[in-house]
Amino acid sequence: MEKVENYQVYIDKAVAWFFEILPNLVLALVILVAGLWLIKLINKLVKKFFDKKDFDPSLESFLAQLISIALKAVLFVLVITQLGVESTSLIAVLGSAGLAIGLALQGSLANFAGGVLILLFKPFKVGDFISAQGVDGTVKEISIFTTKINTFGNQLAIIPNGQLSNNNIINYNAEKTRRDKIDIGIGYGSNIKKAKEILLQICRDKDTILKDPAPEVYLGELADSSVNLTLRFWAKNEEFWGAHFHVMEELKYKFDEEGIEIPFPQRVIHQEN
């Protein structure tokens, strides 16, 4: 009987405590719901502001995520404070937790710092075609911790910013034009001058191949089974691959028409009777 009375005392205290904090709990819930709605509204306004000002898409994405995280952190502090947690105690707890989390998430902090460096020094931006960390593709998004890249096969590659900011990057869109280099082997019995003229004529006939700087053909190497010519030409970035594949196809057609041999590996088998 005495134990039941003890339980009843605890239950009464719990009920009294619940009704005591109920107003704060309801108000904290209201702050939470209203805060999340307000953060969503602010995020929309920030996006509209960026769109009107025509900012760099890379900077827009980064700042939008940073603002959203900062607002949610402020909301969290307001809700916890409303529940009766003293601000000084909360700051001490957050400081200790921040130190522990910082030590545990050193990689994430490095990625955050890498994202800041990418935005400051702009080695690439959204829409650029880059080669980094063994991945080739178009930059889709630069976020706080990672960069998203669309590959040739339309796969999404996600690379940590820390690695991108500390390793080599090739940005194919940094310059407006790009030079192609195509090596072609012809037979030793083929006419070198005619082969060079055919290659140059293909370039002259293609509008997307720049005439200045002019295309060039060199004899690059006298190999074991072929004379290797090197064709170099320039094209705009957006027209580069179209020009490359056009030249590859046309040179095969033209060489066949003019009887210029393109050597290929052959095996000769001698049979003894």
DSSP 231-252: EEEEEEGGGHHHHHHHHHHHHH
Residue 60 sits in a domain whose CATH number is: 1.10.287.1260
My answer on whether 160 and 243 are in the same domain is no
- Output the pLDDT for position 120: 79
Identify whether 109 is part of a domain: no
Residues contacting residue 256 through CB under 8 Å, at least 6 positions apart = none
Residue 241 sits in a domain whose CATH number is: 3.30.70.100
What's the whole-number mean pLDDT along residues 39-68? 73
Cα distances (Å, whole numbers) of residue 51 to 35, 54, 62, 144: 24, 5, 14, 19
Q: Flag whether pLDDT at 102 surpasses 60.
A: no
Number of domains in the chain: 3
- Output the pLDDT for position 103: 45
Question: Which of 126, 151, 171 represents a domain boundary (last residue)?
Answer: 171
Identify whether 143 is part of a domain: yes
- Stated pTM of the model: 0.59
Identify whether 271 is part of a domain: no
Helices 240-258 and 192-205 sit at what angle, rounded to 10 degrees?
140
My answer on whether 182 and 237 are in the same domain is yes
DSSP category for residue 214? P
My answer on whether 18 and 80 are in the same domain is yes
Q: CA triplet 103, 108, 109: central angle to 5 degrees? A: 70
Tokens of 64: 């939008």
Extended beta strands in the chain, E state:
129-132, 135-142, 146-151, 156-160, 169-171, 177-186, 216-222, 227-236
Residue-averaged pLDDT of the chain: 81
Give the full edge-to-edge strand order of the sheet including 227-236: 177-186, 227-236, 216-222
Taking alpha carbons only, the member of 100, 77, 101 closest to residue 90 is 77
My answer on whether 47 and 118 are in the same domain is no
- Output the pLDDT for position 232: 96
What's the whole-number mean pLDDT along residues 213-239? 93
Residue 167 sits in a domain whose CATH number is: 2.30.30.60
Task: Tell me the pLDDT band of 93, cut-offs 50, 70 and 90.
Answer: low
Q: What is the pLDDT of residues 135-148, one digit of tens each?
A: 999 999 888 888 99
Identify whether 152 is part of a domain: yes
My answer on whether 81 and 50 are in the same domain is yes
Q: Could you tell me the residue range of the domain that residue 12 belongs to?
A: 2-104
- Output the pLDDT for position 6: 61
My answer on whether 245 and 156 are in the same domain is no
At residue 18, what are phi and psi to the nearest 5 degrees?
A: -60, -45
